[in-house]
């Protein structure tokens, strides 16, 4: 297991991409969260429950998916230095369709909704962090929508490999096909052409 100080340093480095972290905010982050390990295939969030925690991934890989007609449909993947939760469930405190599970053993820093509320109430710079980091997420979502609607299967796969180049080799082929909305056989054929 990784030293907690390494996880804290990674967390602080992530925040400092967007805001300046005071010593007080560093201490508040540390005391209002906890470190957790999820084993491969373990659920971080179950769609049958309201999402009450957000997880910063220090090491590992997770997927967010929903179930349609008995099949798992991958919505997105998250890896090191990203936050993961079921956004609507977390923010509105209601059930949503998303499950989140670990593709690999995954180490996270977890923070409960109430604790994150405390951070936003007591540290105004957290508002700036949220605004700037959500801008990055919005750009990624819009980019994905454009790729899904306006490209061929081969172009979708190439786009996926480009935007997920640091993690694409860690994701099982069936999950990639589900994410792209194409049959696994089609994806295998596209990969064979490369």
3 band by pLDDT with thresholds 50, 70 and 90: low
pTM: 0.90
143 band by pLDDT with thresholds 50, 70 and 90: confident
165 band by pLDDT with thresholds 50, 70 and 90: very high
Assign 3-class secondary structure to the chain: CCCHHHHHHHHHHHHCCCCCCCHHHHHHHHHHEEEEEECCCCEEECCCCCCCEEEEEEECEEEEEEEECCEEEEEEEEECCCEECCHHHHHHCCCCCCEEEECCCEEEEEEEHHHHHHHHHHCCHHHHHHHHHHHHHHHHHHHHHHHHHHCCHHHHHHHHHHHCCCCHHHCCHHHHHHHHCCCHHHHHHHHHHC
Q: Which domains does the chain have, with CATH numbers?
A: 4-123 (2.60.120.10)
- Per-residue pLDDT at 144: 85
């Amino acid at each position: 297991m990784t030293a907690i100080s390494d996880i804290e340093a990674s967390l602080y480095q992530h925040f400092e991409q967007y805001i300046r972290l005071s010593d007080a905010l560093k201490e508040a982050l540390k005391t209002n969260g906890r470190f957790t390990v999820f084993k491969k295939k373990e659920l971080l969030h179950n769609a049958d429950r309201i999402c009450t925690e957000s997880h910063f991934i220090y090491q590992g890989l997770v997927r967010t998916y929903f179930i349609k007609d008995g099949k798992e449909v991958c919505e997105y993947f998250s890896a090191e230095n990203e936050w993961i939760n079921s956004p609507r469930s977390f923010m509105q405190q209601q059930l949503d369709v998303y499950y989140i599970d670990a593709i690999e053993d995954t180490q996270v820093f977890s923070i409960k909704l109430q604790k994150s509320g405390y951070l936003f109430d007591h540290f105004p710079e957290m508002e700036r962090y949220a605004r700037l980091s959500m801008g990055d997420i919005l750009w990624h979502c819009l980019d994905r929508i454009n790729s899904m609607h306006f490209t061929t299967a081969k172009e979708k796969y190439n786009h996926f490999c480009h935007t997920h180049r640091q993690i694409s080799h860690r994701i099982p082929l069936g999950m990639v096909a589900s994410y792209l909305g194409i049959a696994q056989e089609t994806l295998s054929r596209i990969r064979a052409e490369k």
